[in-house]
Structure 1
Amino acid sequence: MDNKNKTVVRSMDVLNLFINHAELTFQEIIDYSGIPKTSVYRMLRSLEEMGFLVKGEDSKYRLGLIFLKFGHLVSSRMNIRAIAYPIMQALHQEVNEAVNLIIKQNDEAIYIEKIDTHQKVRLYTAIGRRSPLYAGACSRAILSFLPDTEIDDYLDSIELTSFGRGSITDETQLRETINQARIDGYTVSHSELENHTSAIAAPIFDHQGDVIAGISVAGIEANYQGEKIQYFAEKTLEAAKKISMQLGHDG
């Protein structure tokens, strides 16, 4: 085990002590961990700087508030997947198209669930894949329902680049699609992330009314024309509403 890995493992050993102890002194950490005093001292300083631990006026160490943030994120995302999956399955059975679930992570969208059992042609989407918030129906379903100030800040911070022949690279056009999404309640994309593919997506809201995820149906572009768009949109909106309601959103 190299020194860097050893330091990481030992740091985790220190943090794990706080599973059973709400607070610990410097000496208690040494005694419980069995790690040399000088090493504990260095690790505690680093863990404090990164916000994983805080040292009180009583000289005792406690877990930092950063764990509340991570704990909330993990909990909320796992709940979304657990709540969304059966609804995604029902939607997939009904439309026979791929169904995707994404969440916002910083300035990107990340795919956290996908069902495409009945789809013969596999698409670009995969669990863990990331995409810009402006590219693709599912990502833009989140972007479109963020507060105006967040949208402005996001657009000021990025460069609109092309991924497929239908990628939106003009800010005026992008803002028009955002405005239209707010009117329709859903987003549509054609060949934005990959040529010859289309998607229709709707936002998912939490109990506070904030957009926290998006759900989409996606497939070959030829299947997303004319009346099919409205059909897929209605089914996707219905699924998004069901998930949102189970997350406490009152509509």
Structure 2
Amino acid sequence: MAATNSVVSAIRVLEAVGERQPVGLSELARAVGLPKSTVQRTLLTLAEVGWCGADDASRWRLTYRAFAVGNQARDADELRVRALPVLHELQLATGETIHLAAPDGRELVLVERLDTAHSLRAFLPLGHRIPLNASATGQAYLAASTDAVVDAYLAGGPLPPRTSSTVTDPDALRSRLAEVRARGWSVNPEGLSEGIAAVGAAIIGADGRPVGALSVSGPTVRMTADVFDTHGRGAADAAHRISRELGAPV
């Protein structure tokens, strides 16, 4: 049991470093709720095996070993590899930033981003965790899920707000998901980031369940109601093509 607890602590510390880097010992200890002595021992062990390192100010960050392993996980189910050619076409057609996200617990994780040439653009770092209720990708993913999955998600606790426009009321989210199902793609103005709007569509796997979602995102000065339908249809078509590549019954 002690060994198991040590592994759990190491993973918690590793994730906290990734979320806050560069980060000091005291902040890390507060973030993971462990004694500073325990966190320090864990950091030294992670440094010994090459996963973490500290700078001259004793602030910790992940090494490229974490990036290398994470990059392998990113392609474990071939989602990114299958999706990339279609995502490139979608980026050229829309001229906006394209995001590809895959599920991890109650969130999605950004596994690919294709940037627009515009200097004013949407930006999320790879590996960023995206709340399902707050994002175009998340709402598209939930809309493609079964009622049981949606019920379990809503029963899991309060819906996290990211902006003043985030859907945080369960009934409002259910209504939003019904709209997504009827339309074929999600529309999320400023729900995830202020000044950014997005449309999204779910990607379906061979078993008929969603395995991820993609979005077209941009600043609200360009991503206006006038382009939601055009970009939404483009997103839905791209998601449909990728789903076929994955063997989905679509």
TM-score over 0.5 for the pair: yes
Q: Measure the CA separation in 2 of the matches of 1:85 and 1:217.
A: 14
Pairing of 1:70-85 with structure 2 (within 5 A)? 74=73, 77-85=76-84
Q: Measure the CA separation in 2 of the matches of 1:136 and 1:237.
A: 16
- Following TM superposition, by how much is the alpha carbon of 1:74 offset from its aligned partner in structure 2, in angstroms? 4.5
Q: Measure the CA separation in 2 of the matches of 1:77 and 1:185.
A: 27
Aligned to 1:233: 232
Q: Measure the CA separation in 1 of the matches of 2:107 and 2:99.
A: 15
1:199 partner amino acid: A
Aligned to 1:125: 124
- Following TM superposition, by how much is the alpha carbon of 1:224 offset from its aligned partner in structure 2, in angstroms? 2.5
Aligned to 1:165: 164
Count of residue pairs brought into register by the alignment? 182
- Following TM superposition, by how much is the alpha carbon of 1:135 offset from its aligned partner in structure 2, in angstroms? 1.0
- Following TM superposition, by how much is the alpha carbon of 1:222 offset from its aligned partner in structure 2, in angstroms? 2.4
State whether residues 200 and 218 of structure 1, in contact with CA within 8 Å, keep that contact through their aligned partners in structure 2: yes
1:185 partner amino acid: G
1:156 partner amino acid: A
State, as a whole percentage, how many aligned pairs show the same letter: 25
Q: Measure the CA separation in 2 of the matches of 1:140 and 1:222.
A: 22
Distance 1:193 1:180, change over 3 A: same
State whether residues 90 and 235 of structure 2, in contact with CA within 8 Å, keep that contact through their aligned partners in structure 1: yes
Helix, strand or coil at the partner of 1:222 = coil
Distance 1:178 1:234, change over 3 A: same
2:113 partner amino acid: K
Aligned to 2:43: none
Helix, strand or coil at the partner of 1:236 = helix
1:96 partner amino acid: G
Aligned to 2:99: 100
Aligned to 1:206: 205
State whether residues 200 and 236 of structure 1, in contact with CA within 8 Å, keep that contact through their aligned partners in structure 2: yes
Aligned to 2:34: none
Q: Measure the CA separation in 1 of the matches of 2:162 and 2:84.
A: 28
For the pair shown, the structure with the greater C-alpha radius of gyration is 1
Aligned to 2:136: 137
Aligned to 1:35: none
- Following TM superposition, by how much is the alpha carbon of 1:140 offset from its aligned partner in structure 2, in angstroms? 1.3
Q: Deviations over 1:185-234 (max 9, x none)?
A: 11110111111100000000011111111011000112222331110011
Aligned to 1:242: 241
- Following TM superposition, by how much is the alpha carbon of 1:78 offset from its aligned partner in structure 2, in angstroms? 4.5
Q: Measure the CA separation in 2 of the matches of 1:165 and 1:191.
A: 8
1:225 partner amino acid: T
Gaps of 5+ in 1: 9-72
Q: Measure the CA separation in 1 of the matches of 2:113 and 2:152.
A: 30
Gaps of 5+ in 2: 8-71
- Following TM superposition, by how much is the alpha carbon of 1:124 offset from its aligned partner in structure 2, in angstroms? 3.8
119-128 or 204-213, which deviates more:
119-128
Q: Measure the CA separation in 1 of the matches of 2:114 and 2:242.
A: 16
Q: Measure the CA separation in 1 of the matches of 2:186 and 2:245.
A: 22
- Following TM superposition, by how much is the alpha carbon of 1:77 offset from its aligned partner in structure 2, in angstroms? 4.1
Pairing of 1:43-122 with structure 2 (within 5 A)? 74=73, 77-122=76-121
State whether residues 124 and 194 of structure 1, in contact with CA within 8 Å, keep that contact through their aligned partners in structure 2: no
1:235 partner amino acid: G
Q: TM-score, normalised by structure 1?
A: 0.68
Q: TM-score, normalised by structure 2?
A: 0.68
Q: Measure the CA separation in 1 of the matches of 2:238 and 2:99.
A: 12
- Following TM superposition, by how much is the alpha carbon of 1:121 offset from its aligned partner in structure 2, in angstroms? 2.0
2:93 partner amino acid: E
Aligned to 2:29: none
- Following TM superposition, by how much is the alpha carbon of 1:122 offset from its aligned partner in structure 2, in angstroms? 3.7
